[in-house]
Amino acid sequence: MTDIMNRMKTKIIKEFGTPCLVIDLDVVERNIQRAQKLCDKAGVANRPHIKTHKSPLLAKMQIEAGARGITCQKLGEAEVMADAGITDIIVATNLLGAARSGRLAALQQRIALKVCADNPVVLEAYSNAARESGRPLDVMIECDTGQKRAGLKHQEALALAQIINNDPMLNFGPIILSSAGYLAGDSDIS
């Protein structure tokens, strides 16, 4: 290790303690640019999942590089990202508790969210949250692609889509194909 690296290491330990995550933003930016170029070349809209970095700074870097929006795992992550000014957010899991507690409606009042559902009970809670927020909620359905990892069989998905179409507070969004890792019909990667 060079003398400069040793001094930097000592300074970081003194200022922040250990363990302490240190990243090279130049490398991060190159990786973001490379991933975005791959998406652009393939003709898909990138919606990176922020569950690994959970950083508004890195999410904004991804959007500035060309990502259409971001994907979050939990409502709390979406709230943090919205607080940072990010407005195109998918939450890729059912949010029954958040819908019933009022947190989903509160965030939906601030930004137009996209959420996922795989059962009618969640759809009812989403409809109520959308009504409380004063604007319709975009809902995507997760479908099983045969790997039995997550999602619904096609007949179940069609039944949910009908419920969404019949509810004025819900908008049908694309279908999520988990094992394929993208949103069908929207050419998005999540």
pLDDT for residue 177 = 66
Alpha carbons 70 and 169: distance in angstroms, whole number: 23
Q: Provide the pLDDT for residue 133.
A: 96
Query: Contact 151/142 with Cβ under 8 angstroms?
Result: yes
CA–chain centroid gap for 148, Å, is 22
Quote the pLDDT of residue 151.
Answer: 67
Contacts of 160 (CB under 8 A, 6+ apart): 117, 118, 119, 120, 123, 141, 152
What pLDDT score does 1 carry? 56
pLDDT at 189: 39
pLDDT truncated to tens, each residue of the chain (190 aa)?
A: 578 888 888 888 888 888 878 888 999 999 999 999 999 999 988 999 998 899 999 999 999 999 999 999 999 999 999 999 999 999 988 888 888 889 999 999 999 999 999 899 999 999 999 999 999 999 998 877 666 666 667 788 889 999 999 999 999 987 766 544 444 444 443 4
CA 187, 123, 84 angle in degrees (round to 5)?
60
Model pTM?
0.82
Residues 6+ apart with CB under 8 A from 177: 142, 143, 145, 151, 183, 184
Three-class secondary structure of residue 122 per DSSP:
helix
Q: What pLDDT score was predicted for residue 76?
A: 95
- The whole-number pLDDT of residue 181 equals 46
Q: What is the pLDDT of residue 16?
A: 86
